Amino acid sequence: MDAFFNPSGIALVGASAREGRSGYRILRNLVTGFEGAIYPVNPRSSEIGGLRCYPSVTEVPDPVDLAIVLVPAAAVPAVIRDCVKRGIKAAIIESGGFAESGPQGRALQAELVEIHRDSGIRIWGPNCMGLVDARRKHAFSFVMERIWDNGMMDGDVSLVVQSGFLAAGFLVDIMSHGELGIAKACSIGNKVDVDESDLLEYLIGDADTRAIGMYLESIGDGRRFIDLCCASRKPIVVIKGGKSEIGAKAAMSHTASMAGNGALVSDLLAQAGVVEASDFHQMMDMCQALAAVGEYGGSGGVGRRVAILTPSGGAGIVSTDFVDAVGLELAQLSGPCREKLESIYPSWMPVANPVDIWPAVELNGPGAYLSAFRALCEDPGVDAVLFHFLGLGMFGGSIAPLAEIASASGKVVFCWTIGTAEVVARVRKEAREYRIPLFRELSRAAECMAAVLKSAPPVTGSVGAEPAVMTPSEPVELASDLPAMLATGSLVLDEYDSKRVLACYGVPVVEERLVSSPEEAAEAVNELGSPIVLKGLAPGEVHKTERGLLRLDVSDEGQAKQHYVDLTGAMQGGGRVLAQKQLRGSAEFIAGMLRDDQFGAVLMFGLGGLMAELLEDRVFALASIDEEGALRMLARLKTQKLLDGFRGAQGVDRRALARILCGLARLAVENPRVREIDLNPLIICEGRPFAVDATIVIGEDC
Amino acid sequence: MDAFFNPSGIALVGASAREGRSGYRILRNLVTGFEGAIYPVNPRSSEIGGLRCYPSVTEVPDPVDLAIVLVPAAAVPAVIRDCVKRGIKAAIIESGGFAESGPQGRALQAELVEIHRDSGIRIWGPNCMGLVDARRKHAFSFVMERIWDNGMMDGDVSLVVQSGFLAAGFLVDIMSHGELGIAKACSIGNKVDVDESDLLEYLIGDADTRAIGMYLESIGDGRRFIDLCCASRKPIVVIKGGKSEIGAKAAMSHTASMAGNGALVSDLLAQAGVVEASDFHQMMDMCQALAAVGEYGGSGGVGRRVAILTPSGGAGIVSTDFVDAVGLELAQLSGPCREKLESIYPSWMPVANPVDIWPAVELNGPGAYLSAFRALCEDPGVDAVLFHFLGLGMFGGSIAPLAEIASASGKVVFCWTIGTAEVVARVRKEAREYRIPLFRELSRAAECMAAVLKSAPPVTGSVGAEPAVMTPSEPVELASDLPAMLATGSLVLDEYDSKRVLACYGVPVVEERLVSSPEEAAEAVNELGSPIVLKGLAPGEVHKTERGLLRLDVSDEGQAKQHYVDLTGAMQGGGRVLAQKQLRGSAEFIAGMLRDDQFGAVLMFGLGGLMAELLEDRVFALASIDEEGALRMLARLKTQKLLDGFRGAQGVDRRALARILCGLARLAVENPRVREIDLNPLIICEGRPFAVDATIVIGEDC
């Protein structure tokens, strides 16, 4: 990758002397900032802008390790072949007209994939804006002429943006509005070779980058991407444009059908400590806040307790609502801090958080604002301070006196400001210098505070990442007929066999037995205890209720015999009959496993029964999980109050649920042909979970 | 109110010749913009800024009908008394130091209330910034010097802002950033007299105002405020700072305890067609969008079907997510529109919404963008168009060609733009001229589109308002003992009496009877049908389960007798025993009525049972509601899928639920001492609702 970011010499194929052309803009940008060798390539010129121009990339002299290609799509494959011939290691193809524009373009793109595979040349693009390195003033991009005159600021946020046209607009917007300081901005386009994971890996190791923002429409190797995120100590913010396609495939299990609509990707990103953004400027603001605060854990981790300092009771109230809405807490002020505030407050005013400081300022002057701010910064019960600066003359419209206090204390501090355009511009400049995240909207301030404080680990450890370690345990012993089934080509195990497998992996299942005559069915009523359930297990059939193969409340021998006869009749002799103790549960859940094309084996846990689909409350995690990871997965369930014995209902043994999830994970790892697992429902009976129905789907090729 | 907005002459009490002083700033502002008579009042000067200065307001000559007061708090009551003496009709008190600042200030404020009551002088403030009228260039405010030189734009949004300090910061911000065009900006402060309803009423009638934005921390007369909102054809956007206090009162019923945390106010505002904002700039953006689109219903109402036109597939995808998240729909494009798009698209590209126009532009030039936009504007299946303008050279970085098409079509159109600062500034100016709401964030664009499209009535009628009409019906006949109970001082009716009352108002109740001996309890098993429920009704006790006064599943005579003995024992002879048919319902709800200090009688409906408190899904509406209004209230329930027979469960007769709510409303209107009503649970049995338990609370003084 270094050939892209630190080339010794660049061949610009498609250089142009005509103003307004992309090939002209990029040459100007190169000449302005790049200090290595620059070789324009254009067969129709011998010299452009004072530089010697070469008819073909094959004739370019040393040193050259990067080609930037801007010729019409049809000519690109030949140019890349020439690059290979010339020994150029890397090429950025900025031309469009490939997979994004119809069948002809797709064929050209396939040709590029082939050249890359055969030769090993690294290809970035096509259909992209290349890269900008604001520190080195490298603009390997046609995106804007005189990019450095347009408000572009260097900084420590690096960006990776997919989507050709949007990338252009987005980067131009950022570069010219002077709101975000950039380290490196990368537009990746159609991803013939270099993809989001390659760039993420590079940027994680890049000394100039403190936070990474990404707009992605697809993630190629999802597992590699998640592993990189887990290992990163730099904060990563992602906007996912476009949804997971998994729901579209014919899904046998509830688990697989629930994985659609992006929930799976969101959960896996959260599991890896990634902050998810939904909008472009929001992503920028989050990156800037995260970069300002820097690597987590430097001073032993950041908590979620926020103090609010405001000259306006009203803004304090609105802030409190937002702090609550994003899942942060209002700090309980500690004794010394309260005492300090009491000493500057008027006597009629009680101390509280938000700290409404105006009456104290009226009594004691602006120094009261500084004293209160210092007390909050020094309060060990406060993890972060949000101060409001209304810029109405206090401190001469400058936050410098406050910023000095914040710097000295090392506390994480955020600022919300409104005021005249002049004051806001000055405060913005000061905030950048002092690395204080600054916001003009309270809602955005709260979102970014949550991004900083919630993605930080509570005490130590890597950034929010779950350890990807399986608990080692004894080898699983399966009954002799099961291994062959689990290795078969394509099969849906029936409920009985599914549960026999699951039981071996430690999943508690309801008490049950096969019955093979009306008499055995009758006996089962006595042996399992009335009432029982009788189920017809027809081969390949997972919808028993809809097929009329489920008989509940079977409470005497006569009923049992009759149902047996009916069920075997309904299955036309093709299945078998299962007798089961009928459990009355206090709550109903669903658990499962599916294999995702991008991310591999993934676990699912959710609310069951009628509420399941109404609330869509389900969580996903990579199947490489241990018991603690499974507990954290459960803790992400929205309705998790139900697990704790909500409103008089009995609680659930969370560790028992976590062990079930670990069992599913192990089953998935040890049996690569198991494609889907469904425990539906998982019923809670006296606080313990039991799989009441279950399905294992074996796939052709996982 | 006209004396505030159109005074013939103004006495400025506290005028100052010293630069930097508030009394200097406001005088400069008056001299700059106000064309009527201006009389500085200050006993220490005879002339200020070339104007004759008067020692006291009593000596000011005609014409004078408004005083602006800026003297220390302690001197204010005397000044206002002088105003009364001089016959001045109205005063704006901008000084602080009243109820917001301790007991001494509270006493001064009480004095002002008294003067207002005794004399009838209208008082605006104290502790406020007064008002700014940008059309007339009236700045009756000390808030900024040379306000008109600072980017203040006149426009058609009027603002009302409570909270002294915040109002200042907020108004200064708006006035100097040039982002929002203002008609009138009013800071109301401590509301001794003039309040949010007075100003709302004035602004609804104000010809310069097209949309009204309000930041309110309290609503004095809630019912008047809601009635004004219902009657307004101008869009109103409200931020509520601070929460309803109702939850804090000792609440007997679930209904009353659920009304806390602001949900009640939010629902009543929604019912009145008010758009609720949560943040300050969001409120401005919503107001601007609503003002641009103007009064609803001009062309027969606006629907929710949105078409998205974009040169970036990626931005189209992100927009789709936001459109979905705010509850709008993607339009199905109609035949002629599809044909037009097909004629300009490359052959390989299918027509869809979002309309990804870039491949067509590459094929046919920028004219393709205009053609597509025109086709969408002319499509009767499209209610609004969101177009993306990435400002990368198309149309010379101007939206004028698109805006012309939009104007000609009369379609509601929104624009999202990113690009260089220069392009964004130009587009912003054009958007204002053409009245096209413009956004730099897609999320904000979607929020504002929802504010415009969702608050509009579907076809005709007033702005989203529910008709405040009760269905007339036959007089209710109550059993002879009930009227006295309903008019009593303070009483909790027991379940049996509560249901007798409710049944008279048309609420279906479960079949039940009082039993007064073990034998009668046994008989009830046979007469009501096994199983039955036995309940001990202890006087004033509403928590039967917790008190052990509820016996479920009573299925034989022996059990019934024993429970009767136990229940009467537990109540120590003080209550009575109720036998009830045990219903097995398919769903459980809760309905009720409470009286709110600000809003009067309010109805509540929500999900019942375990899920009720977990999901907090409940809706409120003013009790002046008819059946259609009640149906609309039900339609706001988040989990309303449950009403429609979700996932095989039986649906609910919505009209039967609506009639119950109307019955509660009538009960509240006809019995002013009824303070709270609880139907909990309301069980759905074969699609019909039955009140299974109920409580009516009679209050001392409602």
ipTM: 0.82
Would you say residue B469 has pLDDT above 50?
A: no
Per-residue model confidence (pLDDT) at position A230 = 87
The closest CB to that of B610, out of A281, A614, A647, belongs to A647
Rounded CA separation A486/A673 (Å): 7
**Where do we find the tokens 């980067």?**
A171
DSSP letter at A644 equals G
Residue A403 and residue A436 in contact, taking contact as beta carbons nearer than 8 Å = yes
Residue A554 and residue A525 in contact, taking contact as beta carbons nearer than 8 Å = yes
The closest CB to that of A101, out of B321, B322, B359, belongs to B359
Would you say residue B445 has pLDDT above 60?
A: yes
The closest CB to that of B421, out of A151, A321, A440, belongs to A151
The closest CB to that of A150, out of B173, B242, B420, belongs to B420
Rounded CA separation B159/B141 (Å): 14
The closest CB to that of B649, out of A315, A422, A610, belongs to A610
Chain A closest CA to B187's CA: distance in Å?
13
Residue A415 and residue A391 in contact, taking contact as beta carbons nearer than 8 Å = no
Contact B614 A391 (CB under 8 A): no
Contact B639 A614 (CB under 8 A): yes
**Where do we find the tokens 């254009």?**
A42
Kindly report the backbone phi and psi dihedral angles of residue A195, in degrees, each rounded to the nearest multiple of 5, phi listed first.
-130, -175
Chain A stretch 249-278, residues whose beta carbon is closer than 8 A to a beta carbon of chain B: 278
CA-CA-CA-CA dihedral for B351, B352, B355, B356, to nearest 10:
-70
Span B414-419, mean pLDDT? 92
Residue B602 and residue B623 in contact, taking contact as beta carbons nearer than 8 Å = yes
Per-residue model confidence (pLDDT) at position A249 = 39
Q: Where is pLDDT greater, at B488 or B383?
A: B383
Q: Where is pLDDT greater, at B468 or A673?
A: A673
Q: Is A93 helix (H, G, I), strand (E, B) or coil?
A: strand
Per DSSP, the residues of B455-469 read SS-SSSSSSSPPP--
Residue B630 and residue B506 in contact, taking contact as beta carbons nearer than 8 Å = no
> Distance between alpha carbon A238 and the CA centroid of its chain, in Å?
6
Lowest mean pLDDT among B400-409, B455-464, B506-515, B678-687: B455-464
Chain B closest CA to A242's CA: distance in Å?
6
Residue A115 and residue A80 in contact, taking contact as beta carbons nearer than 8 Å = yes
Per-residue model confidence (pLDDT) at position A485 = 85
Contact A165 B418 (CB under 8 A): no
Lowest mean pLDDT among A148-162, B49-63, B343-357, B658-672: A148-162
Rounded CA separation A609/A36 (Å): 65
Give B200-229 pLDDT, tens digit per residue: 999 999 999 999 999 888 788 888 999 999
Rounded CA separation B300/B359 (Å): 36
Span B381-401, mean pLDDT? 88
Which chain A residues touch B170 with a CB distance below 8 Å?
Answer: 418
> Distance between alpha carbon A412 and the CA centroid of its chain, in Å?
24
**Where do we find the tokens 């398919």?**
B586
| Residue of B109, B141, B611 to mutate, testing the A interface (most A Cβ within 10 Å of its Cβ) | B611
Give the pLDDT band (50/70/90) at residue B85: very high
Domains of chain B listed by start with CATH number = 1-127 (3.40.50.720), 128-296 (3.40.50.261), 301-453 (3.40.50.261), 468-508+583-702 (3.30.470.20), 511-581 (3.30.1490.20)
Chain B stretch 212-231, residues whose beta carbon is closer than 8 A to a beta carbon of chain A: 215, 217
Q: Which residue of B has its CA nearest to A98?
A: B359
Give B259-286 pLDDT, tens digit per residue: 555 778 888 888 888 999 988 889 999 9
Would you say residue B612 has pLDDT above 90?
A: no
Residue A130 and residue A68 in contact, taking contact as beta carbons nearer than 8 Å = yes
Contact B176 A421 (CB under 8 A): yes
If we measure between CA atoms, which residue out of B351, B54, B287 comes closest to residue B155? Answer: B287
Chain A stretch 85-124, residues whose beta carbon is closer than 8 A to a beta carbon of chain B: 96, 100-103
Q: Give the strand pairing for B384-389 and A512-515.
A: unpaired
Q: Write out the two tokens for B690.
A: 């039955």
Rounded CA separation A636/A607 (Å): 12
Which chain A residues touch B279 with a CB distance below 8 Å?
Answer: 318, 322, 441-443
**CB-neighbour burial class of residue B36 (10 A; exposed 0-12, middle 13-18, buried 19+):** middle
Kindly report the backbone phi and psi dihedral angles of residue B133, in degrees, each rounded to the nearest multiple of 5, phi listed first.
-115, 105
Span B430-438, mean pLDDT? 92
Residues 6+ apart with CB under 8 A from B554: B525, B530, B531, B532, B533, B534, B560, B563, B582
Rg of chain B in Å (alpha carbons): 31
Contact B172 A614 (CB under 8 A): no
Would you say residue B678 has pLDDT above 80?
A: yes
If we measure between CA atoms, which residue out of B555, B580, B543, B550 comes closest to residue B567? Answer: B550
> What are the distances in angstroms from CA A455 to CA A328, A451, A464, B449, B644?
11, 6, 6, 32, 40
DSSP letter at B54 equals B
Give the pLDDT band (50/70/90) at residue B317: confident
| Residue of B440, B543, B614 to mutate, testing the A interface (most A Cβ within 10 Å of its Cβ) | B614
Rounded CA separation B426/A640 (Å): 51
Any CB–CB contact under 8 A between A422 and chain B? yes
Rounded CA separation B533/B524 (Å): 10
| Residue of A175, A177, A318 to mutate, testing the B interface (most B Cβ within 10 Å of its Cβ) | A318
Give the pLDDT band (50/70/90) at residue B410: confident
Low-confidence ranges of chain A (pLDDT < 70): 144-152, 164, 242-261, 295-302, 393, 455-473, 612-613, 646-649, 700-702
Rounded CA separation B27/B10 (Å): 10
Contact A314 B102 (CB under 8 A): no
Residues 6+ apart with CB under 8 A from A523: A515
Rounded CA separation A269/A655 (Å): 24
- Number of H-type helices and E-type strands within chain A: 24, 31
Q: Is B607 helix (H, G, I), strand (E, B) or coil?
A: strand
The closest CB to that of A314, out of B101, B163, B614, belongs to B163
Rounded CA separation B56/B13 (Å): 8
Q: Is B47 helix (H, G, I), strand (E, B) or coil?
A: strand
Q: Write out the two tokens for B262.
A: 């602001």
If we measure between CA atoms, which residue out of A239, A210, A202, A244 comes closest to residue A90? Answer: A202
Rounded CA separation B576/B568 (Å): 7
Which chain A residues touch B322 with a CB distance below 8 Å?
Answer: 278-279
Would you say residue B582 has pLDDT above 70?
A: yes
Rounded CA separation A296/A455 (Å): 9
Which chain B residues touch A639 with a CB distance below 8 Å?
Answer: 614-615
Per-residue model confidence (pLDDT) at position B177 = 77
Chain A closest CA to B166's CA: distance in Å?
6
Contact B162 A314 (CB under 8 A): yes
> What are the distances in angstroms from CA B667 to CA A69, B93, B252, B662?
79, 45, 18, 9
Chain A stretch 594-623, residues whose beta carbon is closer than 8 A to a beta carbon of chain B: 610-611, 613-615
Would you say residue B254 has pLDDT above 60?
A: no
Q: Which amino acid is at A63?
A: P
Would you say residue B147 has pLDDT above 70?
A: no
- The 10 Å CB-count burial string (b at 16+, else e) for A639-665 is bbebbeebeeeeebebeebbbbbbbbb
If we measure between CA atoms, which residue out of A288, A283, A292, A290 comes closest to residue A436? Answer: A292
Contact B443 A311 (CB under 8 A): no
Residue B624 and residue B648 in contact, taking contact as beta carbons nearer than 8 Å = no
- pTM, rounded to two decimals: 0.86
Chain A closest CA to B547's CA: distance in Å?
14
**CB-neighbour burial class of residue B590 (10 A; exposed 0-12, middle 13-18, buried 19+):** buried
Residue B79 and residue B126 in contact, taking contact as beta carbons nearer than 8 Å = no
Rounded CA separation B567/A338 (Å): 53
Rounded CA separation A645/A586 (Å): 10
Contact A610 B281 (CB under 8 A): no
User: Which neighbouring-strand residues pair with B695?
Assistant: B678
If we measure between CA atoms, which residue out of A182, A239, A177 comes closest to residue A210? Answer: A182
Residue A396, phi-psi category: left (phi > 0), alpha (psi -120 to 50), beta (remainder): left
Chain B closest CA to A382's CA: distance in Å?
23
Residues 6+ apart with CB under 8 A from B547: B536, B538, B541, B570
Kindly report the backbone phi and psi dihedral angles of residue B343, in degrees, each rounded to the nearest multiple of 5, phi listed first.
-70, -20
Q: Where is pLDDT greater, at B147 or A3?
A: A3
Q: How many residues does chain B have?
A: 702
Per-residue model confidence (pLDDT) at position A463 = 34
Any CB–CB contact under 8 A between B646 and chain A? yes
The closest CB to that of A317, out of B217, B280, B442, belongs to B217
Rg of chain A in Å (alpha carbons): 31
> What are the distances in angstroms from CA A302 to CA A78, A357, A445, A465?
54, 25, 17, 15
Per-residue model confidence (pLDDT) at position A470 = 46
Would you say residue B384 has pLDDT above 90?
A: yes
Rounded CA separation A344/A362 (Å): 10
Any CB–CB contact under 8 A between A349 and chain B? yes
Chain A stretch 121-160, residues whose beta carbon is closer than 8 A to a beta carbon of chain B: 144, 150-151
| Residue of B309, B321, B416 to mutate, testing the A interface (most A Cβ within 10 Å of its Cβ) | B321
Which chain B residues touch A647 with a CB distance below 8 Å?
Answer: 610, 613-614
Per-residue model confidence (pLDDT) at position B573 = 73
Q: Where is pLDDT greater, at B303 or A523?
A: A523
Alpha helices (H) along A261-399? 263-271, 280-293, 313-325, 335-344, 358-364, 367-378
Q: Write out the two tokens for B678.
A: 């609880």
